[in-house]
Amino acid sequence: MDDAAVRAVLLHYLERSAAGDEEGASSIYHPDAVLEFPQSGERFEGVATFLPWRREYPATSIEYELDRVRGGGDVWVAELRIRYDGGPWLFGVDVLEFRGDEVVRESIYVAEGWDAPEWRARWRAAPPPTG
């Protein structure tokens, strides 16, 4: 897979998920895919274990902004922002492992942003472009 193909898979997932179409969103996964949330220690084995709770997710509105995709071969990393029910934007990292054009393992990390400390300003480079 290349950057454009991975980006297309992610956009398919994000657009369908934001529209509440969890079945359509989940079509990116191999049926035996593993979904992990290392921050909470959760692991779900198989789409049949994570599709039901995604259908019942308590947020009524989920918005995504895909900032950057990098990787090669079967392993790709997406940097994105997400917010729930109009709340603050959170930063996310999504590590995706592919077999062919299907996701077989996904590890999702989400965290709040923070202001850069001024004492490091003299060493900082301009942020990289997004997209």
Q: Which of 51, 46, 48 is nearest to 23 (CA)?
A: 51
Interval 6-46: pLDDT, tens? 888 888 888 888 888 889 989 999 999 999 999 999 999 99
Q: What percent of the chain has pLDDT over 70?
A: 98
Q: What percent of the chain has pLDDT over 90?
A: 58
Residue 128, CA distances (Å) to 56, 68, 121, 125, 131 in order: 37, 10, 16, 9, 10
> Under CATH, which number does the domain 3-113 receive?
3.10.450.50
Phi first, then psi: give them for residue 73, nearest 5 degrees.
60, -125
Kindly list the domain boundaries of the chain, sorted by start residue. Answer: 3-113
pTM comes to 0.85
- The reported pLDDT for the residue numbered 16 is 87
**131 falls in which pLDDT band (50, 70, 90)?**
low
Rounded-to-integer distance, Cα 19 and Cα 61, Å: 9
